Amino acid sequence: MMPLAMLSPEMAALLAELQQQDAGLADPTTLPAAQGRAQSEQSNVRWNQQLPPMAEVTPFSVSDGRLPALSGTLYTPENAGAGAIIYVHGGGWAFCSAATHQRSARLLAQLSGVPVLLFDYRLAPEHPWPAGLEDTRRLWQQLTSGKLFPHLDRHKLALAGDSAGANLALALMLAQQPDDIRPVCGLLFYGVYGADFTTASYRQCANGPGLTREKMQRYWQWYQPDHQQRLHPLVTPLNASDQALMALPPLWMNAAQVDPLRSDSENLAARLHQLGRRDRLQIVPGVVHGFMQMTLRLPAAVTAHKEAADAWHNLTR
């Protein structure tokens, strides 16, 4: 089946509208990084309106004096429960920010009933691998040491992320040592876990709509241009050993049906299941990569946040 025929009516109508709104704009991955980043930030403003209210919105900035300060925001809903979800934003390791994902983070906080922490990390190509992973690890260490937000239960923290953010979240889980405080679970949304551009979904959805094979190849060229280094399991988690995968906390994953990255999630889920794990993968029909940003207009995006919130509760009982 052709990708366009796979789209839900709601997704198809929204994509047609976005195509009109963005007429004349260049593919941001073909622009100089700073210019593409600025265009991406502006394009995402439309998804960050009518923000779900929070009981507290707490900006933060922390620095160890060695690397640039980490900054972000803790979104605390009314009657917040124990623990928190640390959300690593997507954007091809090169685009997007805490600002572009704040509605998604707020909605996840509201639906899960626990605080969600959203932060900025160093972006490629100026800061290729492992800079983003190092920043994610630095933030995790600040939280689990009690130096940042000591009121949060550091033994009930989850890691979440979308797209490249899911890659960073999963890589951090794989990189953790036995004496580290580990996440109680991982919530991973349409992640990039490999760099094989010949998978079934890359072939099926090579030209989009939305994310394309060429865009992903450019993101990879910015993030980790060395093809040999791309085999490192902290770059492509699908290359992790069975032992490393077995040591992961419980995972809940989703993937968009009409997405070059769908096979990454399917292949990861298959490996986990072969190991006897019970991690769940939800393939969301009729939607494209990045659909969870579209909660203002796309019912499937809201449903996906509800399912992620339910997974948090199910996996942390």
At residue 127, the pLDDT reads: 98
At residue 262, the pLDDT reads: 98
How many whole angstroms separate alpha carbon 49 and alpha carbon 263?
32
Q: Is the pTM of this model over 0.85?
A: yes
Q: What is the mean pLDDT of the chain?
A: 97
How many whole angstroms separate alpha carbon 15 and alpha carbon 34?
25
pLDDT digits (tens, 9 = 90+) for 142-198: 999 999 999 999 999 999 999 999 999 999 999 999 899 999 999 999 999 999 999
Name the band, by pLDDT with cuts 50, 70 and 90, for residue 247: very high
pLDDT over 90 at 139, yes or no: yes
Tokens standing for residue 91: 């954007």
At residue 187, the pLDDT reads: 99
At residue 74, the pLDDT reads: 98
At residue 59, the pLDDT reads: 98
Mean pLDDT of 284-299: 98
Tokens standing for residue 212: 């394309």
pLDDT digits (tens, 9 = 90+) for 75-106: 999 999 999 999 999 999 999 999 999 999 99
Q: Which stretches of the chain are assigned E, i.e. beta strand?
A: 56-62, 70-76, 84-88, 116-119, 157-162, 186-189, 251-258, 280-288
Percent share of the chain, pLDDT over 90: 96
Name the band, by pLDDT with cuts 50, 70 and 90, for residue 2: confident
How many whole angstroms separate alpha carbon 126 and alpha carbon 192?
20
Name the band, by pLDDT with cuts 50, 70 and 90, for residue 65: confident
Instruction: Check: CB of residue 189 under 8 Å from CB of residue 166.
Output: yes
pLDDT over 90 at 234, yes or no: yes
At residue 237, the pLDDT reads: 98
pLDDT digits (tens, 9 = 90+) for 3-42: 888 999 999 999 999 999 999 999 999 999 999 999 999 9
Mean pLDDT of 229-237: 98
Mean pLDDT of 121-140: 98
At residue 66, the pLDDT reads: 86
Q: What DSSP string runs through the chain?
A: --HHHHS-HHHHHHHHHHHHHTTTPPPGGGS-HHHHHHHHHHHGGGGS-SPPP-SEEEEEEE--SSSPPEEEEEEE-TT--SSEEEEE--STTTS--TTTTHHHHHHHHHHHTS-EEEE----TTTS-TTHHHHHHHHHHHHHHTTSS-TTS-TTSEEEEEETHHHHHHHHHHHH--TTSPPPS-EEEES------TTSHHHHHTTT-SSS-HHHHHHHHHHH---TTGGGSTTTSGGGS-HHHHHTSPPEEEEEEEE-TTHHHHHHHHHHHHHTT---EEEEEEEEETTGGG-TTT-HHHHHHHHHHHHHHHHH--
How many whole angstroms separate alpha carbon 304 and alpha carbon 300?
6
Mean pLDDT of 263-268: 98
Q: Enumerate domains of the chain plus CATH numbers.
A: 3-22+36-315 (3.40.50.1820)
